[in-house]
Structure 1
């Protein structure tokens, strides 16, 4: 079994993009991530993205390269990256949670780094309505 790797990043929706692009992103990501054995969760609050994903190290790093080149979002910043012994997401290849209000939770994650950012995201995850 390949070594598992995880990344949590935050970014902003590009000014020239409509919020409807998020559905397109998730639809395409689900098919590709299933093939690449990547699981995770994308949280979007109408302005900001936080995405946590995991999978085989090589595939995770390739996905991160594609995300960094994607013009649909800006100000991408990796706030946590590390190896993983066991998956945190088993049920879906890419869950989506759209948060109605722009709250301090998302903003707070954007301002944190390292394990502190990861722990805040994982705590936020339990209160989200996740579609898969």
Structure 2
């Protein structure tokens, strides 16, 4: 996909650290919303009680810098990028970080087995079923 907007998209998965209390997820979302807004990054965080899947979009350098910080965050581990590439237009214009939780733990387990365009398509397909808090 060729893009002239300079937007980049990353979709990654990770697992909540065993010693991290579940309430840390709300803290992550609140802080990320503020930080993302300052950096003009938008995206969506999906959490199933154990696993995260996050889509980030923004200018290449800002997204790369954020991913470096995410990889170092001790509140989760096993960060695996499923997709990283150009994006023609933002998927999430109305909020800096949308957040939703899902009850189906197999949903994110299936998603984390995908790569590239297959991961993007699966992520986009699940959006219509989510109740997103932005």
TM-score relative to the length of structure 1: 0.95
Cα RMSD after superposing both structures: 1.2
Find the residue that maps to 1:111 and give its secondary structure.
coil
Count of aligned pairs between the two proteins: 131
2:115 aligned to which of 113, 118, 126: 113
Q: Structure 1 residue 2: deviation in Å?
A: 6.2
Inter-partner Cα distance in structure 1 for 2:94 and 2:81: 24
| Residue 67 (structure 2) aligns with | 64
- Does the 8 A contact of 1:2 with 1:57 survive in 2? no
Q: Structure 1 residue 80: deviation in Å?
A: 0.2
Q: Structure 1 residue 86: deviation in Å?
A: 1.0
Give 5+ residue unaligned stretches, structure 1: none
Give 5+ residue unaligned stretches, structure 2: none
Please say if 1:40 is aligned against 2:47.
Answer: no
Q: Structure 1 residue 19: deviation in Å?
A: 1.2
TM-score relative to the length of structure 2: 0.94
**Structure 1 moving runs of 4+ over 6 Å:** none
Q: Structure 1 residue 18: deviation in Å?
A: 1.2
1:26 aligned to which of 21, 25, 29: 29
- Does the 8 A contact of 1:17 with 1:72 survive in 2? yes
Find the residue that maps to 1:55 and give its secondary structure.
strand
| Residue 124 (structure 1) aligns with | 126
